[in-house]
Amino acid sequence: MRSYLDHNATSPLRPEAKAAMLAAMDCCGNASSVHGEGRAARKLLDDARDQVAQAVGVIAPMVVFTSGGSEANNLALKGAPVQRLIVSAIEHPSVLGVAGKAAEIIPVDSSGTIDLAALENLLKGPKALVSVMLANNETGVIQPVAEVVRLAEAHGALVHTDAVQALGKVPVNFGLLGVDMMTVSAHKLGGPSGAGALIVRDGLALEPLINGGGQELRRRAGTENIPAISGFGAIARSTTGNVKPLRDRLEAGLECAVIFGRDATRLPNTSCFAAPGLRAETLLMALDLEGIAVSSGSACSSGKVAKSHVLAAMGAAPEISQGAIRVSLGWNTAEADIENFIAAWRKIASRHKARAAA
């Protein structure tokens, strides 16, 4: 029996998402066409937009469908009417890659939480867009986004939050956070890959990345992927369930491990940890051979095990962070999966100790 514990990379497709996608595949119309088939496709699109909007507490026209979280992040950062970009040091590569060397970086403390005092100093100057993720994809640490908004408003800045990892795991409400833009994605909570959305505050003018058509209220040209968007809509309000006891059981079963972000408020499904002397590459291969699927951090690095910029920003010692792995639970995680992991971890750790003593 294999245990899949890499839901922060992508979560297995939920049955309701698959059913919605299969039904949408029988619809041959283009949602921009006015004939009967086109109107049928438009209804599927509108229904999914309503479902995603309800999931984050907004009105449907604020939802701009994209190909995923990375595109939505690019649209937010490149399309915002600002002069500067201020981003946290622990953002997803699709934010840091857009921001580039010219961006101003908000540091984090050893727990992985952003430094609000540093942000306040950075806000002094021309109009900026601040991008701070709601929950980190590697450590699960939840960021004080509402406080970021409060500081930004005092300086006339806009705020974007990447909520891809948070949706379905903790309550996410656009209005309560007070942000101007929010990124969400389907495949992290059991929907299909290739479907995401940028939630845009009503009245905020945004320069599109893709031009050529009037789709998405002229904010994102291109024929909409109706099957993927329908699958997204079907699971937009789904949750992982109460997985925190399982995560806590897993962490209690670890021996001699450093758990990153343990003292901060974290997602209930995520644990990032390392054991001295064990390298991530070795652990990933050994766990895979034991039937356990986990990762070493962000899944957006072409399958490579690379140094974590998140742990580096937290000040983690290189000899520890080089062995960091991430376990992330999801909607179909069971107690047996946790016990399988603990048994495999102890077996690998014991083998390592024996070799070190030889």
69 lies in a domain? Answer: yes
Say if residue 198 is in the same domain as residue 248.
Answer: no
Residue at token pair 């899944």: 299
Cα gap 54→173, rounded to integer Å: 9
244 lies in a domain? Answer: yes
Q: Of the residues 223, 249, 273, which one is the last residue of a structural domain?
A: 223
193 lies in a domain? Answer: yes
User: Residue 97's pLDDT is what?
Assistant: 94
Query: Residue 239 CB: number of other CB atoms within 10 A?
Result: 15
164 lies in a domain? Answer: yes
CB-based contact 92:162 (threshold 8 Å): yes
First to last CA, the chain: 32
Domain range for residue 310? 3-11+240-357
User: Residue 302's pLDDT is what?
Assistant: 44
Say if residue 205 is in the same domain as residue 249.
Answer: no
Say if residue 184 is in the same domain as residue 217.
Answer: yes
Say if residue 113 is in the same domain as residue 171.
Answer: yes
Nearest to 162 by CA among 51, 77, 256, 38: 77
Say if residue 310 is in the same domain as residue 347.
Answer: yes
Residue at token pair 């995680």: 333
The residue annotated as part of the active site, out of 27, 28, 272, 300, is 300
pTM beyond 0.85: yes
Say if residue 246 is in the same domain as residue 348.
Answer: yes
User: Domain of 110: which CATH number?
Assistant: 3.40.640.10
Report how many domains make up the chain. 2
46 lies in a domain? Answer: no
Say if residue 113 is in the same domain as residue 218.
Answer: yes
Say if residue 83 is in the same domain as residue 196.
Answer: yes
CB-based contact 65:230 (threshold 8 Å): no
Q: Are strands 181-185 and 158-162 parallel, antiparallel or unpaired?
A: parallel
Residue 343 neighbours by CB under 8 Å, 6+ apart:
none
Say if residue 214 is in the same domain as residue 257.
Answer: no
Nearest to 104 by CA among 94, 113, 120: 120
CB-based contact 205:177 (threshold 8 Å): no
Say if residue 202 is in the same domain as residue 333.
Answer: no
User: Domain of 313: which CATH number?
Assistant: 3.90.1150.10
Q: Of the residues 223, 248, 263, which one is the last residue of a structural domain?
A: 223
**Token pair listed for 64:** 């701009």
Q: Are strands 128-131 and 158-162 parallel, antiparallel or unpaired?
A: parallel
**Tens-digit pLDDT string for the chain (358 aa):** 899 999 999 999 999 999 999 999 999 899 999 999 999 999 999 999 999 999 999 999 999 999 999 999 999 999 999 999 999 999 999 999 998 888 999 999 999 999 999 999 999 999 999 999 999 999 999 999 999 999 999 999 999 999 999 999 999 999 999 999 999 999 999 999 999 999 999 999 999 999 998 899 999 999 999 999 999 999 999 999 999 999 999 999 998 899 999 999 999 999 999 988 889 999 999 999 999 999 986 555 545 566 899 999 999 999 999 999 999 999 999 999 999 999 999 999 888 777 766 6
Say if residue 219 is in the same domain as residue 245.
Answer: no
Q: Of the residues 189, 223, 257, which one is the last residue of a structural domain?
A: 223
127 lies in a domain? Answer: yes
33 lies in a domain? Answer: no
User: Residue 358's pLDDT is what?
Assistant: 66
| C-alpha atoms less than 13 angstroms from C-alpha of 245 in its C-beta half-sphere | 4
184 lies in a domain? Answer: yes
Cα gap 54→325, rounded to integer Å: 34
Burial of 358 (0-12, 13-18, 19+ CB in 10 A): exposed
Cα gap 335→342, rounded to integer Å: 11
Say if residue 261 is in the same domain as residue 188.
Answer: no
The answer to whether 300 is a known catalytic residue is yes
| Strand-by-strand arrangement of the 104-106 sheet | 63-66, 196-200, 181-185, 158-162, 128-131, 84-88, 104-106
